[in-house]
Chains A and B, each alone.
Chain A
Amino acid sequence: MNVTLIDSPVANTANIARALRAAGAELHITNDPGEIASAKKLVLPGVGSFIAAMRWLEETRIADVLRKTTAPLLGICVGHQLLFDVSHEMGTTRGLGLVRGAIVKFDGPLPVPQIGWNRVTCRGPLFDGVASGSAFYFVNSYAARGATSEIARADYNGPFTAAVQSGRVFGVQFHPEKSSTAGLRVLRNFITWK
């Protein structure tokens, strides 16, 4: 088992599991903090509300495990947002604090939530073999803007952070499991990252 997928009740775990397997992962799916603490590599999915997802992580003590572990970690969608210091979704909620910055609402002329493909300017090992400007599939009403550890950027009502890397911690605002070959490649890059 080289990748552990955190089985959150506020995530569409099944679709991400399918994609991780298709990208070559030997997958273990669990919500046990002990198993997560000893994992070699971790994927944190999430959909819906930041507050609900964060509350679950704190209550299960998985939040503490994720703050202490040295295993590479990939957050997806709301899982990506949870990595940040804070979110301003309906009030202010503290995140895992593994990545500097804040999650804010999309404001501007385009309809929110963003639902659909968007082009991403990207660099770094997570996007190895993915042309900058490739499109990924997004579903989100909130995002980080101009995060310091930004490795990918897209534009929706202004530029926003599409992916981050801070050492062993990675996050993608898009859904790699729904982004066809480009998305599978990102997952494979994470699975093989050393």
Chain B
Amino acid sequence: MEVIPSLDLLGGRVVRLTHGEFSSAKVYGDPEDVLDSLEVPARSRLHIVDLEASRSGKPFETDVVRRLAKRDLEVQVGGGIRQLDDAKRWLECGAERVVVGTVAASSPQLLRRMTETLGPERIVPAIDVRDGVVRVAGWTRDAETSLSEVLARVEELGVGEMLVTDITRDGALRGPSFSLYRELRARTRMKVIASGGVSTISDVVSLTRLGNVSGCVIGKALLEKRITLAEARARTAAINAIPERIIPCLDVRDGRVVKGVNFVNIRDAGDPVECAKRYEEEGADEVVILDISATDANRATALETVRRVADSLFIPLTVGGGVRTLEDFRAMLRAGADRVAINTAAIRRPELIRECATEFGVQAVVLSCDAKHVGDHWLATVRSGKELTAIDAITWCRRAEELGTGEILLTSVDRDGTSAGFDIELLRAATSALTIGVIASGGAGRLEDFRDAIESGGARAVLAASLFHDRVLTVGEVKTYLANEGIPVR
């Protein structure tokens, strides 16, 4: 998949609008300076939007396009191209292609004439969609034609790809509309250039995995330095190298696996050794044991459980619950854990993270963060979600990364036990702020939830407990489903 930097021009300068509102313009500066700062390699495709033209219907930024086209870049220009002469004008300025939106949606004869006169390789039809409806004229009104009709029309012309923007996602950094592109995969053979909402490297990887997306236009995320072109290109070249992980979790009390909604009405659900072995056989990539009864009094029982499970498990084992000191941490590793999750003790004394990382390596340290949605953000909680702190959960995860955490186990307290799906917004907030991986936890109910946590949420692993205990789904079923969705699994 081709990663295409995008510059929106207004008054000769690079700007960004939110939801297409001109009054919301944020100015980034001179186009050539911006290109230099983005480190766009030679012969890259560059997507230019002439905002003034999209409003007035007349080419405006012709001088800028002339300058940019001289820089050994493959420029495509869009914005208000509603006549054949306008399209010609852009090509004369040095553009390789013209992006036509309103024409594609509203003027089939003109679109055909443009394609025949200029050649199909010069035309990129653009379809702007809001809630399943095609929008035209700088997103100001609904098209009279349905999405199906526009798709059929564009397919007939013999152009290779079309640019599809989900308007509600553009510039909002909420992530691309994977569902829209997946729907297009089912409805048309045409390749899609995805546009709107790409804000993380994970978004770029997930779009590539869809298969029908041949390019993605990135504007704000590049301008805001959330991602770099070099990284995006490197990652799209190796989307399947590293399998995403499925992690069953065993909640253990007094040496037995237990289950219960929100830790009330807890009932016995079996022997941890048997459960863990079954999960390995089903293809689990790792097992997590959370000892929900861990206190100083029964620490010996907890360690014995870890020892017994580690004895028969040949996949990584992560253990958490009641780890308060460096010595607790060491005892868990000695008992056979590969990694140890710390939560409450780290919030009370963050230095514990650094101490454990220095002593045992960052790969051994997992920060378990139980996040609760409060207002427009999330707060970290302690004592298994029972006690709210004043600490912003995302800020806390970043701090933990700096202190030396290998991975974050991020649980949505709101979703935990509900089977209502993972909190994708929480996951996106965390994965876009962190370099280390995030394990999604809390809310798994359906197969699609696992896909969405990875695809939209950017999680590098997905954890579930009762869903696997109760055999609502098996690890194998989840992995088969993900593989069919284009997500690499072991």
Contacts and interface: CB of A to CB of B under 8 A. Distances in A.
Contact of A156 (B241, B363, B460, B461): B241
A119 interface: yes
Nearest to B284: A180
B38 to A, nearest CB: 16
Interface in B397-450: 406-407, 435-437
A22 B314 contact: yes
Interface in A73-105: none
A154 B314 contact: no
B241 A119 contact: yes
Contact of A135 (B435, B437, B490): B490
A154 B240 CA distance: 12
A117 B490 contact: yes
Nearest to B233: A109
Contacts of A12: 333
Interface stretch (A13-21, A35-43, A61-69, A144-152): A13-21
A135 to B, nearest CB: 4
Contacts of B435: 111
A116 B314 contact: no
A173 interface: no
B311 A18 contact: yes
A156 B242 contact: yes
Contacts of B363: 113, 115, 139
Contacts, number: 74
A26 interface: no
Interface string A166-194: 00000000000111110110000000000
A180 B437 contact: no
A19 B336 contact: no
B235 interface: yes
B66 to A, nearest CB: 34
A43 to B, nearest CB: 16
A99 to B, nearest CB: 24
Q: Which secondary structure dominates chain A's binding surface?
A: mixed
Interface in A132-167: 135, 137, 139, 154-157
A28 to B, nearest CB: 19
A115 B314 contact: no
Nearest to A141: B363
Contacts of A48: 361
Contacts of A119: 240-243, 488
Nearest to A135: B490
B245 interface: yes
A18 B407 CA distance: 26
Greatest chain B CB density within 10 A among A14, A19, A154 is at: A14
Interface in B32-77: none
B238 interface: yes
B284 to A, nearest CB: 9
A115 B437 contact: yes
Given A14-B336, A47-B361, A116 B234 contact: no
Contacts of A47: 361
Q: Which secondary structure dominates chain B's binding surface?
A: loop
For chain B, the bracket of interface size reads 20 to 34
A26 B238 CA distance: 41
Contacts of A70: none
Contacts of A108: 234
A118 interface: yes
Nearest to B460: A116
A15 B336 contact: yes
A117 B230 contact: no
Contacts of A139: 363
Nearest to B436: A111
Given A155-B238, A178-B314, A113 B406 contact: yes
Contacts of B224: none
Given A12-B333, A116-B245, A119-B243, 13 more contacts: A15-B338, A18-B310, A18-B311, A109-B235, A111-B437, A113-B361, A116-B285, A116-B461, A137-B315, A156-B242, A157-B234, A179-B314, A180-B280
Interface of B: 201, 230-231, 234-235, 238, 240-243, 245, 280, 285, 310-311, 314-316, 333, 336, 338, 361-363, 406-407, 435-437, 460-461, 488, 490
24 contacts: A15-B310, A15-B336, A18-B310, A109-B230, A109-B231, A110-B235, A111-B436, A113-B362, A113-B406, A116-B242, A116-B285, A117-B242, A117-B243, A117-B285, A117-B490, A118-B241, A118-B242, A119-B241, A119-B242, A135-B243, A156-B241, A178-B315, A179-B315, A181-B314
Interface of A: 12, 14-15, 18-19, 22, 47-48, 108-111, 113, 115-119, 135, 137, 139, 154-157, 177-181, 183-184
Give me the 6 closest cross-chain CB pairs, A-B, nearest first.
A135-B490, A109-B231, A155-B241, A139-B363, A109-B234, A111-B435
